[in-house]
Amino acid sequence: MVNNGILLKEVQHGILKSVDPISDSLSVGAKSKIDLHACMHSNNYGKHYRLHRNKLAKRLHKPELRTIRLYDFRHYFATMLYSKTRDILLVKQQMGHRKIETTLIYTQLLNLNDDEWTCRTANNIKDATQLIENG
């Protein structure tokens, strides 16, 4: 979004982050190309992702691909970034989180003793209940 010669980028949940001042000529050109309402209130990313994901799953005959959410890529990025850097503040900044507690969610799946990460699965209702209760 362009506002008074400043290029703004929506980071998360409607929070705007100032990126850089831009020239007047670039500002005019950008305003003509950007629909401000669509940028602020668009859910098209998820809609288009689901459409293409479902087509791919059908073509490859792999219905399990339909279980991969767009959010899962965000979660994977944050988890892998923390795994590689062990810098929670960098992950917080990259994800656009306001609170470090939000970012700490991504570290819970990591086993910091080795380079592999693990995730538990549930085989029955009792195991699922225990996993949910433990977070």
Q: What pTM value is reported for the model?
A: 0.49
Alpha-carbon distance of 70 to 49, in angstroms, equals 7
Domain residue ranges in the chain:
2-40, 44-134
H/E stretch holding 80 reads helix 70-85
13-41 exposure pattern, b = at least 16 Cβ within 10 A, e = fewer = eeeeeeeeeeeeeebeeeeeeeeeeeeee
Per the structure block, which two tokens stand in for 19? 């990126």
Q: Can you give the pLDDT of all 135 residues of the chain as single tens digits?
A: 445 555 555 555 555 555 556 666 666 666 665 555 455 445 677 888 899 999 999 999 999 999 999 888 888 888 888 888 888 888 898 999 999 888 888 777 665 555 555 556 677 788 788 878 876
